[in-house]
Structure 1
Amino acid sequence: MLRRENRIRTIQASLAIEHNTLSLEQVTAVIDGKPVLGLPREIQEVRNAFAAYEAMSNWAEYSVCETQQGFVDF
Structure 2
Amino acid sequence: MSTSQPEESRPSEERVTPDGLLHARTGTDVSPEDLVLASGKDLTPQNLEWARRKLAEEGPAALDKILP
Using structure 2 for the length normalisation, give the TM-score. 0.31
* Greater RCO (CA < 8 Å, at least 6 residues apart): 2
Question: Considering only CA atoms, is the larger Rg found in Structure 1 or Structure 2?
Answer: 2
Greater helix fraction, Structure 1 or Structure 2: 1
Using structure 1 for the length normalisation, give the TM-score. 0.29
